[in-house]
Amino acid sequence: MRLEVLLFAEARERAGTDRLAIELPDEPAPTAGAVLETLARQPELAELVPRCRLAVAHRLAAGSDPVQPGDELALIPPVGGG
């Protein structure tokens, strides 16, 4: 299954693009956790991904949440502030 992940802030800067296309097997059913694992294998994102969350269809997802073709996926990096 081909999925597209939107990147923001530090993730976008590290990747040099605002979106990445990834491939996941159809079986077992893909999950948000599998998306994060795949993104963590990208050298430029490897250090950042463990601190990120994944949004699926505008909602923060748990690792076991399923992803479907056509879902809007977004890698949400940590936000600093004070």
Which tens digits make up the pLDDT trace of 10-19? Answer: 999 999 999 9
Cα(first)–Cα(last) distance of the chain, in Å? Answer: 40
Question: What gap in Å lies between CA 30 and CA 46, rounded to an integer?
Answer: 20
The one-letter code for the residue type at 8 is F
Confidence category of residue 82, pLDDT binned at 50, 70, 90:
low
Q: What is the mean pLDDT of the chain?
A: 94
Model confidence pLDDT, tens digit, residues 9-49: 999 999 999 999 999 998 888 999 999 999 999 999 999 99
What pLDDT is attached to residue 8? Answer: 94
The parent domain of residue 8 ranges over 2-76
Task: Quote the number of domains for the chain.
Answer: 1
In a domain, 81, yes or no: no
In a domain, 39, yes or no: yes
Give the torsion through C-alpha atoms of 42, 43, 44, 50, to 10 deg: 70
What pLDDT is attached to residue 68? Answer: 93
In a domain, 82, yes or no: no
